[in-house]
Each structure stands twice: as C-alpha cells, then as structure tokens.
Structure 1
Amino acid sequence: MSRRRLLTAGSGLAAAVPLAGCGAALAGDGAGPDTLVVHTQLGTTAAGSATYLSAVADFHREHPGLTVRNLVNGDDLAQVYETSRLARKEADVVMVNLYDKTLAWTDVGATVDVAPYLDDWGLRGRILPQALREWTDPKGRLRAFPYFATNWPVAYNTRLLERAGVSAVPTTESELIVAARALRAKGSMPVTVGGEDWTGQKLLAQTIQTFLRADEAVHAYSTGDFGSRGAREGIEYFVHLRDAGVFADKAQGLTSDSMFTQYNTGRAAVESAMSSALAQVPAGIAKHTAVGGFPLAPGAVHARPTALRTYTLIAFWISPNGTRKTDAVEKFLRFMYRPDTVARFITEAGRDMAVRSDALATRFPLVAAAARLGDRVSDVVLPDVHVPPTANQPLITATSTAFTPGTSAARVRAALESAYRQS
C-alpha cells in the first residue's frame, strides 16, 4: 500500500472524528519537549485502562519535569492517527494493536523501526522472544515494543451443560452437535458469537483451520486462496456445524457485545473469548466456566481442540515526531516495562503480557486457567497479521455471510475470496 493511499484514506474524517482526552485538535499541537503525547486505546472501556491511567499518574510523580498527555480513541484510533500524521502533528507514542491499517505503518514511514532503541534502552530482556518475532516485519524491522498478549480459548458454562445432560466439555464434532441440541432443548443458546464483527471472523478462521497446517493457513489468509483441500474441508466443517444449530440464533447479526452479554448472563453456554473478555466474566458465571479448545472433526490435522494465542495486542509504537523526544520516550517506556508496572496489569486488570513477569492473575481465575492450558490445546494461526489491510473489512462482511443459515460451503468460499478481490 502506498503512503499516499494509507494516509489520505481518512483525511476527510479529520473534522468528524475528534480526539478524545485533554489534547488539542490534532495530536501533536503545541506539545513542547517536556510533554510526551501518547495516543492510546487505554482510557476507554478497554481492560487495563484504569491501571494505565494510574501508572501514568505514578510516572508524573517520579518525573515531575515531564508530562504525559493522553489522547484516547477506541476502534477509530488508527484512522485518527493517520489523519494527524498527514498534518505532521501526530502523537509521539501510539498504543494500538498490530491489525488492519497498522500493518502498513512502519513500511510507509507513519511510524519508525524501534529495533535501534531496543538494546540501547535495555528492554530486549524484558520482552518475550516470541513477541519480538511476531512484531518484526518481513524486512526485519521491529514495528513497536510489544506489551499486551492474549490467550484466546473457548469458554464452556459447565452448569448449563450439566443441566442439559452433558457431562463433559465437548472435544469432538459429534459431541459438540449433541451438546448443542441438548442445550437448545433446555432453552440455552449453544455457541454465541459476533457473526457480524471480528469475533465471528476469528471463530470462522479457527474452524476453517481444523484441516489446515500453520503454513497453509498463512497462505490462505495472506492471498485469499481458499481452494486447497484443507481450506475447503474446513469451510464445509463450519457449514455443517452452523446447519446443525451449533451457533446462536441469528449469529450473522450479532456483535461482540451481544456475544459477551449472552455468555455473561448465562443465556449461552459457549463462547470463544480472548483473555481480556475472560477477565470480565462475572464471578457467578466464572465459577462454573471451564476453558478449553474448539472441538475437532474426524481427520483434523491437529492433535487437540484448537485455540488462538497471540502477542500482537497493544504495543508502544514511536512516530516520527517521537524520534525528536527520545529522552522522554525512553523514560516513559523504561517505567512501563518495570516489573512492578507490568505486574499491575496482570494482577489488577487480568491482562496477558508480552513481557516477562512472575505476577499471577489470581483475581482472574479464567485468565489464569487459559494461561495454563499449554499443550492441552493446539494453537492455530491468528489471521490478523496476514490479512492485507484493505481486505480486512470485506472479510468481516464475508463472515456475516458465512454465518447466515442456508449459505452453502461454495458460497462461503466465494465470499471469502471475493473479499480479497475488493481490496
């Protein structure tokens, strides 16, 4: 993607999408050398927001000569950042996932390669090696300093399963279908999922990978070629589960919020939930929740039910403006990577981290249980870093089509492949 195409895509939204927080019209406006402007998703309802804001307050007490000015956005952060970058008034540091638009940032100069700072600031030993690998682009550039990670297992409400006469968490196709029918007979939804948004996209990708090895999955999601035998079998498996009533009613119109509400209120028995969502499960539901993987079909290429794991959640990106304030950026990042600061996100917010820590999420039993799954599940590929940015939204639209009852496997495949041709 060209620099012009990336950065001008949202220029018309500059007036329509204001920056939240205590900043000016554009991120870098009027920020002197002693003010570090941080553009972040923490400060909304995102898990860890309260801990982050408290940590910033602690940073101010320890560094009275420096001010961190937070500019807060939710899902529109990438669009707003690109608008401010176009005006050369972007924030100094950006805290956002590696996903969709952000995949191209380092390549087009919207952010810088942070590898030169990694050892100079003594941070390499703090970050897990796998996280560094996932954040390194094909040209060997480290896009950002990894911070948040996630385990993404499947949560099962064992009380609802038991009430339906299901004595164990399903691990196979047949067990899942039997459980879904039993749950429906008792008035409970089986697998709830936001078929209209990213949660549905992830579960569809996970199900398709039942018959795909990691390299085959990377090929499919980077090229849009779902014609291999494994991809076709995975799509057929998904359609078979959908038509057997495994997914919640009208899943194609549900969102992530709908999914969380259905599970957290005990109306649905199963959800595929990242650890930040598991941390929000109410205690009354959590004590009857077991975490595991998504059930396998006969002939699957995996040895265990599948789950997703990734280190590509929120990281610290440095902008071109930030390179003019490296002393301030270094102080801030050293503080954020300190063991006591990292531990707070684990113990207070239940976040999984891409950073070494001995802290335990004891207040968040489901997060801790997900972290202990180990080889009881088989990891499959998270498609986020492989899907071309311009195909991402069309792929979510295709996901809704896939969850629509009556859509054939051939039509699902066509919709997925068409998402790449639209890009």
Structure 2
Amino acid sequence: MRSPLTRRGLLAAGSGLAAATALPALSGCSALAAADSDPDTLVVHTQLGTTAPGSPTYLAALDRFRKENPGIRVRSIVNGDDLAQVYETARLARKEADVVMVNLYDKTLAWTDVGATVDVKDQLDAWGLRERVLPAALDAWTDARGRLRGFPYFATNWPVAYNRSLLERAGVDAVPTTGDALIAAARRLRAKGIAPVTVGGNDWTGQKLLAQVIQTFLTEDEARHVYTTGDFGGRGVREGIDYFVALRDAGVFADKVQGLTSDSMTTQFNTRAAAVESAMSSALASVPQGVARHTEVGGWPLAEGAAHDRPTIMRAYTLIGLWISPNGVKKLDHVEKFVRFMYRPDTVSRFIRESGRDMALRSTTVSSGFPLVAAAQRLGSDVSQVLLPDLYVPPTASQPLITATSTSFTRGTSAARVRAALEAAYRSA
C-alpha cells in the first residue's frame, strides 16, 4: 500500500493543506510553529484539552507534571478529529510536536512507516514500562515488522446499551439476544413513539456497528481477511450483509439513521428518545445518572446460524497512545519524564476514576463513578468479541467507508448495493 504521508499525497488529501495560512490557530500558536527550538520546552499535540472525555484529568495531570518538573516547560497543542492532518502538515515543515497523543486509525497507521513518528520498542524496555502495558495492547500497537508505533494508553469496551425502562414501557420484558427478538422489540418501541436503535449512520459509529453486524457469520480470521482486502464476496460476509439489511428494513434503527452522527446518537439515548445504542466507553461514561440506573449493557443480538454463540461486543486498545516524533527524539530526556509520569499508577487511576476511561495499562482501579463503564468491564462469558477493523482497513479506504456506511443505513438499499458500496471504498485505496 502506498503511504499517504508524502508531500504530494498530503497536498492532494484536502483543500487548505498546501499553505500554513490555511491551518487553524492552536492554543495561541500556529501548527507550523508547534516545535519549539528551546530544548527545555516539551511540545505535546493532543486530542485532549477541550471537550474530549478525559480532558479535565489530562489538564490537571499537566499541571502536576509542571510542578514536579519545574525545569521543563510544556506547550500543549489541541486538535479534534483533524489532529492527524495538522500534525502531518507540521511534520512536512519539520516543525511537528515532540509527543503526539492520538489513536491508531486511518492516516496514523502509516506514520511509523514513513518516519513521521519513531519506533518506541527500545524505549519501552529501557524505561522499564513493558510490564505496565496489557499484552493485547502491545499486540495492537506493534506492526507487522515488530515496531511499536506508540506507547498504548486509552482502551475501550464497546458493548450495546439497553434502556430497560423504555423496553418495559413498550412491553419488552427482556433485553433482546436474537435478531427476531430485536425486530419484535423495535416494533413495540415504535408503537410507543420510541426510537429503537440509535447510531451515527453517517460517521464512524455507524461504520463500526455495520462491521459488527456483518461479522455475525465470520470468524476472527475471516473478518481480518475481509477488512484487510475489501473482499466482501465470501459466503459469511454476504450472510452478514443480508442480516444487516433485514434488521434495517424491519425498522430496527432510528428514523433517518443514515444522516445521524455520534452526537445525535448520544443525545437520543441520553434524553430517552431511543432505547438502544452501540456505545463505546466514552459514550457510556456520558450517560446521565437517571438514565444509567435503568440501563443494561450487553451484546448485539445474533441470527440463527451465527459463527458466535453469544451476543457480540467489540474491544479496542488503540484509542489514544503516546507517539514520539523525530523532533521528540532530540528531547528524549524530557519525553521520558513525561511518558513515565503518564504511565504512573496514580495518573492512570485518575483517568479511570475521574473520567471513566478504559486504559490499555494495568490497573486495579475501578470506574466506580461510571457504573456502565464498570459494567462493560465485567462483561465476560455472556458475550463474544468481534474484530474492530481499524487496524486492517487501508488508510485511504477509511473515509470512503463512512460514505458507504451512510448508503448502507438507507432503508431500501439492497444487500447487493451495500456490498458494492463497501467494495467501492477499497477501490479508492
């Protein structure tokens, strides 16, 4: 696969990338001024710091780090979903931040390959941090050549949240565990004016749920092949698409779901307008206490003949990691202090207690203030785990898959058209 992180590739990736003047102002400095030549200034580029879950804890952690390390100044640059784009442009000018806190997905999959970030495997061992990381997280962050792309940090459980109170109001006595039961529940909910399953059919949340439903008839190895190659023609994949289409056309998903986003989904569930949502940890943590009291977490209902014997969930260990840039290598002593501080058990525990974050690191702390997050952590033999496709989808196919997702969630779209839309997303790669 050709890497997207070349000057030609970046400038073709989207309007505004050709000139630094098109970049947003970030925390009082432009992106191309991000790298500070002062050897005593550590520059951290992160998605935390505004409204992202865990931001207050992160800002408090920065304050503690500064107090404990008075000789190190820390400049924090904050971006949202455009972080990868902004970082890549800064890297082309050799003015990137020293440490980057972002997830392993889409463009970032190629960063180590093209030298935008460095392999940190030696640092993990030299700094004595290997035992702090969950083995599954190390596996996820290690590429096919054995390079550790970043220090794993945030993880997530991704179950399905069911509002029992709304189900009971509609006369549904139990959380559905089969497709037939889900369809029957959806009909009852609609009769009471309640949306059944809400999801962002026009963004990444819908993409993930679609992938989850498609995997109903796939083993993990088969799913890995599908999402690596874009081959949606196998029998199990076609059965999964058929199952998705049957659920969709039976009215299981909220009205106009193809236009909804993750924010729409969260609002509908949290305001009791919808009874069910596919919710990762950060969404579970945001559920108001009054709704959480009546919510049960479980898996996605199965169809007859499924490859799984229990309803399915997803788990991931790639939500946010600490990446080291080439500029960061020049300040490795400061970077080491920062990474060690972020890996400290007390820092990790605060993210769990205060923000309800799942971590890719070992900890005995429980999200007691976030009961649904804690409940998802306890899901064991009651559910089966399917593959989160992020590590296997080619970066250039990620955004086209969002478009294909919206098409797929549009009622009346045939299974053949869904399959064609998914395969077309890969042809652009």
| Same fold by TM-score greater than 0.5 | yes
Q: What runs of 5+ residues in structure 1 fail to find an aligned partner?
A: none
1:340 aligns with 2:340: no
1:378 aligns with 2:384: yes
SS at match of 1:300: coil
Q: Which residue of 1 aligns with 2:158?
A: 152
1:126 aligns with 2:153: no
Give distance in 2, aligned partners of 1:29 and 1:118: 24
Q: Which residue of 1 aligns with 2:204?
A: 198
1:398 aligns with 2:407: no
Query: What amino acid is aligned across from residue 319 of structure 2 in structure 1?
Result: L
Give distance in 2, aligned partners of 1:137 and 1:145: 13
Q: Which residue of 2 aligns with 1:33?
A: 39
SS at match of 1:414: helix
Give distance in 1, aligned partners of 2:137 and 2:60: 25
SS at match of 1:57: helix
SS at match of 2:330: helix
Regions of 4+ moved over 6 Å: none
Query: What amino acid is aligned across from residue 250 of structure 1 in structure 2?
Result: K
Q: Which residue of 2 aligns with 1:349?
A: 355
1:89 aligns with 2:95: yes
Within 5 Å, give how 1:5-404 maps onto structure 2: 5-8=8-11, 9=13, 11-12=17-18, 14-404=20-410
Q: Which residue of 2 aligns with 1:412?
A: 418
Contact 1:23 1:69 in 2 (8 A): no
Query: What amino acid is aligned across from residue 129 of structure 2 in structure 1?
Result: L
Give distance in 2, aligned partners of 1:59 and 1:355: 19
Give distance in 2, aligned partners of 1:52 and 1:75: 18
SS at match of 2:416: helix
Q: What is the TM-score with the length of structure 1 in the denominator?
A: 0.98
Q: Aligned residue pairs: how many?
A: 423
Query: Offset at 1:246?
Result: 0.2
Show CA shifts across 1:161-204 (max 9, x none). Answer: 00001011000011100000000001100000110000100000
Q: What runs of 5+ residues in structure 2 fail to find an aligned partner?
A: none
Give distance in 1, aligned partners of 2:416 and 2:30: 50
Query: Offset at 1:18?
Result: 1.6
Show CA shifts across 1:35-65 (max 9, x none). Answer: 1000000012110000000000000110000
* Identity value in percent: 73
Give distance in 2, aligned partners of 1:314 and 1:27: 24
Q: What is the TM-score with the length of structure 2 in the denominator?
A: 0.97
Give distance in 2, aligned partners of 1:180 and 1:76: 36
Query: Offset at 1:21?
Result: 1.6
Query: Offset at 1:262?
Result: 0.3
Give distance in 1, aligned partners of 2:277 and 2:332: 43
Give distance in 1, aligned partners of 2:381 and 2:337: 38
Query: Offset at 1:259?
Result: 0.4
Give distance in 2, aligned partners of 1:358 and 1:66: 31
SS at match of 1:106: coil
Contact 2:24 2:30 in 1 (8 A): no
Change (3 A) 1:19 1:92: farther
Give distance in 2, aligned partners of 1:398 and 1:417: 9
SS at match of 2:21: coil
Query: Offset at 1:422?
Result: 1.9
Give distance in 2, aligned partners of 1:168 and 1:370: 18
Query: Offset at 1:122?
Result: 1.0
Query: Offset at 1:20?
Result: 1.8
Change (3 A) 1:407 1:132: same
Query: What amino acid is aligned across from residue 193 of structure 2 in structure 1?
Result: G
The alignment's C-alpha RMSD in Å is 1.1
Give distance in 2, aligned partners of 1:26 and 1:167: 57
